[in-house]
Amino acid sequence: MTGRLHLINSDYKRSLLEGLDLFKGVRPDDIQDLLQQCERWDIEAGESLLSSGTPNEHIFIILSGKLNVHVGSPDAPIVATVDVGACVGETSIIEDRDPLVYVIAAEPTHLLVIHHSILWNMVNASHEFSKNLLLVLSERVRSHNQFIAESIGDWRQSEINATTDALTGLGNRHAMKDTFPRELKRCANSEHPVSLIMIDVDRFKTFNDLFGHVAGDRALSAVAHVLKSHFRTKDLVARYGGDEFAVLLPEVGEEEALAVAERIRTAVSGKTSDGSDSLIRVPVEVSIGVAELEPQGTYDSLLRSADAALYRAKDAGRNTVAS
Same domain, 214 and 87: no
Same domain, 180 and 306: yes
**Whose CA is closest to 235, among 223, 226, 225, 227?**
227
Same domain, 112 and 193: no
Q: Comparing 50-54, 154-158, 273-277, which segment has the lowest mean pLDDT?
A: 273-277
Report strand pairing: 58-64 vs 2-4.
unpaired
| Domain contains 303 | yes
Cα–Cα separations (whole angstroms), residue 127 to 85, 87, 141, 163, 224: 19, 19, 21, 54, 66
pLDDT at 29: 83
The pLDDT confidence band at residue 9, using thresholds 50, 70 and 90, is very low
Residue 99 near residue 54 (C-beta atoms within 8 A): yes
Domain boundary among 128, 157, 186: 157
Strand partners, 102: 70
| Domain contains 165 | no
Which tens digit of pLDDT belongs to each residue from 74-110? 888 888 888 998 888 888 888 788 888 899 999 999 9
Q: What are phi and psi of 135, to 5 degrees?
A: -65, -45
Give the chain's domain count.
2
Report d(CA 75, CA 309) in Å as an integer.
Answer: 52
pLDDT at 35: 85
Does the reported pTM lie above 0.75?
no
Predicted confidence (pLDDT) at residue 307 exceeds the cutoff of 90: yes
Range of the domain at 62: 2-157
| Domain contains 168 | no
Same domain, 96 and 211: no
| Domain contains 118 | yes
Same domain, 27 and 98: yes
Which tens digit of pLDDT belongs to each residue from 128-181? 888 888 877 667 655 654 554 555 555 555 555 567 888 888 888 888 888 899
CATH number at residue 71: 2.60.120.10
CATH number at residue 207: 3.30.70.270
| Domain contains 31 | yes
Same domain, 283 and 211: yes
Predicted confidence (pLDDT) at residue 33 exceeds the cutoff of 50: yes
Same domain, 183 and 150: no
| Domain contains 162 | no
| Domain contains 17 | yes
pLDDT at 311: 92
Rg of the chain taking only CA atoms, in angstroms: 33
